[in-house]
Amino acid sequence: MSSDEQSSSSLTRSTPGPRGGPGPPAMSSDEQSSSSLTRSASVPDRGPVGRLLALAWRHRALCLLAFVGQVATLALGLGALGASGLAIDVIRGALDAHAPAPRWPLGLAPPAGWSVGRIVAAIGVTALALAAARAAIVRGTALVVGRLVHLDLVPDLRAQVYDKLVGLPPRFFDRNPSGSIINRVTGDVQSVRGFIDGVLLQGGVLLLTLAVYVVYMMRVHAGLAAACLAPTPLTLLATLRFSRWARPAYEKNRALADAMVLGFTDGVKGIRVVKTFGAEDRERARFEARNRAVRDQQEEIFRRVSRLGPTVSFVTAVDVAVLLLYGGWLVAGGAVTLGELVVFAGLLQQFATQVSGMATVLNTLEQSVIAARRVFEVLDAPLEIAAPAAPARLPEPARGALRFVDVGFGYEPSVPVLAGIDIGVEPGRLVAITGATGAGKTTLLALVSRFFDVTAGQILVDGVDVRALDPAQLRRRLGVVFQETFLFRGTVADNIAFGRPDAGREAIERAARVAAAHDFVTALPRGYDTVIEEGGVDLSGGQRQRLAIARALLLDPPILLLDDPTSALDAETESEVLAAVDQARRGRTTLLVTHRFRALGAADEVIVLHAGRVVERGAPAALLAAGGRYARAAALEVIEGQPEAAPPPETAPTPKATPR
- Give the whole-angstrom CA distance, residue 608 versus residue 601: 13
Statement: residue 1 has pLDDT above 80: no
The HSE-up count of residue 239 (CA atoms within 13 Å, CB side) is 22
350 within 8 A of 228, measured Cβ to Cβ: no
- Counting residues of the chain whose pLDDT is more than 90, the rounded percentage is 18
Is the pLDDT at 52 greater than 60? The verdict is: yes
pLDDT of 150: 85
In this structure, are residues 629 and 615 in contact, taking their beta carbons and an 8 Å threshold? Answer: yes
pLDDT for 46: 60
Query: Distance between CA 47 and CA 7 in Å, rounded?
Result: 36
Write down the pLDDT at residue 561: 92
Q: What is the pLDDT, as a whole number, of residue 34?
A: 39
pLDDT tens-digit map of 461-493: 999 999 999 888 888 889 888 877 888 888 999
For residue 433, the SS3 value is strand
What whole-number distance in Å separates Cα of residue 488 and Cα of residue 495?
6
Are the beta carbons of 298 and 253 closer than 8 angstroms? yes
392 close to 464: Cβ distance less than 8 angstroms: yes
CB 309 within 8 A of CB 359: yes
* Average of per-residue pLDDT across 29-56: 57
d(C-alpha 405, C-alpha 425), whole Å: 11
Count CB atoms within 10 A of the CB of residue 118.
12
**204-233, pLDDT tens digit by residue?**
888 888 888 888 788 878 888 888 888 777
The CA distance from 606 to 623, in Å, is 8
Distance CA 545, CA 481 (A): 8
Alpha-carbon distance of 476 to 468, in angstroms, equals 15
Cβ-contact 434, 17 below 8 angstroms: no
CB-CB neighbours of 171 under 10 Å = 20
Q: Which of 200, 170, 205 is nearest to 74 (CA)?
A: 205
User: Could you give the CA distance from residue 74 to residue 51 in angstroms, rounded to a whole number?
Assistant: 29
Contact 404, 431 (CB under 8 A): no
Comparing 24-28, 117-121, 223-227, which segment has the lowest mean pLDDT?
A: 24-28
Q: How distant, in Å, are the alpha carbons of 195, 453, 454 from that of 457? A: 49, 10, 7
pTM value? 0.66
Pairing of strands 490-491, 589-593: unpaired
Using CB atoms within 10 A of its CB, is residue 279 exposed (0-12), middle (13-18) or buried (19+)?
Answer: middle
| Mean pLDDT for the stretch of residues 526-533 | 91
In this prediction, residue 405 has a pLDDT band, given cuts at 50, 70 and 90, of very high
318-345 tens-digit pLDDT: 877 888 888 888 888 878 888 888 888 8
Long-range contacts at 627-631 (CB < 8 A, ≥ 24 apart): 629/435, 630/434, 630/600, 630/606
Position 568 confidence tier, pLDDT thresholds 50, 70, 90: low
pLDDT of residue 422: 93
**What's the rounded Cα separation, in Å, for the pair 418 and 407?**
7
- pLDDT given for residue 652 in this prediction: 37
Cα separation of the two ends of the chain: 20
Pairing of strands 559-563, 589-593: parallel
CB 588 within 8 A of CB 560: yes
| pLDDT at residue number 21 | 44
pLDDT for residue 569 is more than 80: no
Cis before 44 (ω within 30): no
Residue 637: per-residue pLDDT? 65
Residue 60 in this model has a pLDDT that exceeds 80: yes
Q: What is the predicted pLDDT for the residue at 614?
A: 93
- DSSP codes, 264-331: HHHHHHTHHHHHHTT-HHHHHHHHHHHHHHHHHHHHHHHHHHHHHHHHHHHHHHHHHHHIIIIIHHHH
CA distances from 247 to 240, 305, 586 (A): 12, 13, 61
Q: What is the pLDDT of residue 597?
A: 82
209-212 long-range contacts (CB < 8 A, ≥24 apart) are: 209/74, 209/350, 209/354, 210/351, 210/354, 210/355, 212/74, 212/78
pLDDT of 552 higher than 60? yes
For range 400-426, the mean pLDDT: 91
Query: How many of the other CB atoms lie within 10 Å of CB of 95?
Result: 8
Q: Is the dihedral of CA 311, 314, 320, 324 positive or negative?
A: negative
Edge-first strand listing for the sheet containing 589-593: 478-481, 559-563, 589-593, 430-435, 605-610, 613-618
17-25 mean pLDDT:
42
* Distance of alpha carbon 289 from alpha carbon 177, whole angstroms: 19
Distance of CA 221 to the CA centre of its chain: 54
Q: What's the pLDDT tens digit per position in 78-111?
A: 888 788 888 888 887 777 777 777 778 777 788 8
Cross-strand pairs, 418: 409
Buried (b) or exposed (e) across 207-216, using 16+ Cβ within 10 A?
eebbebbbeb
**Helix or strand or coil: residue 653?**
coil
pLDDT of res. 639: 47
Give how far the C-alpha of residue 68 lies from the chain's centroid of Cα atoms, to the nearest Å. 33
Confidence of residue 657 (pLDDT cuts 50, 70, 90): very low
Which of 83-92, 119-128, 426-435, 539-548 is least confident? 83-92
Give the model's confidence band at 541: pLDDT under 50 very low, under 70 low, under 90 confident, else very high: confident
649 has a pLDDT exceeding 50: no
Instruction: Pick the more confident residue, 27 or 237.
Output: 237
Q: Give the chain's domains with CATH numbers.
A: 59-380 (1.20.1560.10), 395-639 (3.40.50.300)
In contact, 67 and 209? CB cutoff 8 Å: no
Asked which of 260-269, 553-562, 587-596 is least confident by mean pLDDT, the reply is 260-269
CB 380 within 8 A of CB 43: yes
CA 350 from chain center: how many Å? 40
Q: Give the three-class secondary structure for 81.
A: helix
CB 395, CB 462: distance < 8 Å: yes
- Give the residue, 370 or 527, on which the prediction is more confident: 527
Phi and psi angles of residue 433, each rounded to the nearest 5 degrees, phi first = -120, 125
Q: Kindly tell me if the per-residue pLDDT of 197 is higher than 80.
A: yes
d(CA 309, CA 356): 7
Helix pair angle (232-269, 338-380), 10° resolution: 40
Compute CA distances 41 → 18, 35, 432, whole Å: 21, 10, 38
Q: Do the beta carbons of residue 605 and residue 619 sit within 8 Å? A: yes
The residues, ordered by sequence, that sit 6+ positions from 155 with a Cβ below 8 Å of its Cβ are: none
Q: What is the pLDDT of residue 489?
A: 86
Tell me phi and psi for residue 289, to 5 degrees.
Answer: -65, -45
Q: What is the pLDDT of residues 492-504, one digit of tens each?
A: 999 999 988 999 9
Query: What mean pLDDT value characterizes the chain?
Result: 80
